Amino acid sequence: MTEHPAYATLRPVTRYASVLLAENPSPMTLEGTNTWVVGEPGATSRAVIDPGPEDADHLRRVADEGPVSLVLLTHHHGDHTDGVERFVELTGAPVRALDPALCRGAEPLRDGEVVDAGGVDLRVLATPGHTADSVCFAVQDDEPAVFTGDSVLGRGTTVVAHPDGHLGSYLESLRRLADLPEGLRVLPGHGPELPDVRAVAAHYLQHRHQRLDQVRAALADLGPAATPRQVVEKVYAEVDRAVWPAADLTVQAQLTYLQETA
């Protein structure tokens, strides 16, 4: 079976979900954005989760897997949504997201509702934190899985960038994912799929609390007036400097959380 990363080809992952990897690799997108095509075998239409960047070849390949009856968005970031307008032109499919401004010809998503995606029942889970409008989509049948967008990645950890990202909300969302039944595979927005969202969410929670302890220690050393970049230089010294601007925003989110919980 073909494994991640595989460009320009639709890669089956479960009975009902296949992924097409966009060729937009970067330090922030890993190998690129995962566009998920969802539908039961033999279904007359498919749903698409996150069409991806404005890449004509990628969007055409996804559209050719149709007909597409619905587009779902996990959040507003451009590497997931910049191609939406072109994709709607190609397919005529309505677009649903938590944010009404992203919707096209359909109502916004509601936390807890069940969406029909090509014969697959997707339960909407509001998981704010990475962004205010982040959602996941859970499938609980004989091949349980959860499409996590950027709330949980297939490798590494996600950015919680102030001000749209909010660490307190993100920790609550991770607890929600950690409370899901065992055995739900992670079908992420970036990186390879993972075997169990509960285990990954628990690891993420541990990692976030370790980082908060490191930020507290940095502030004790630098003083309460320390800038986010000064904290980054201490806490994220081992991280690729190409992502330090994102780390600045992550530290600001951490500082905001510490102020909120003081």
Residue 64: active-site member: no
Q: How many CB atoms lie within 10 A of CB 189?
A: 30
- Which listed residue (50, 55, 79, 248) is catalytic? 79
Rounded-to-integer distance, Cα 149 and Cα 127, Å? 10
Rounded-to-integer distance, Cα 37 and Cα 19, Å? 6
Rounded-to-integer distance, Cα 216 and Cα 135, Å? 30
Is residue 53 within 8 Å of 83, Cβ to Cβ? yes
Q: How many CB atoms lie within 10 A of CB 130?
A: 27
Q: What angle do CA 255, 260, 262 make, to 5 degrees?
A: 90
What pairs with residue 17 in β-bridges? 38
Q: Which residue has the tokens 């992670």?
A: 186
Residue 185: φ, ψ to 5°: -70, 150
Determine the length of the chain: 262
CA-closest candidate to residue 75, choices 120, 129, 156, 21: 129
Active site members? 79
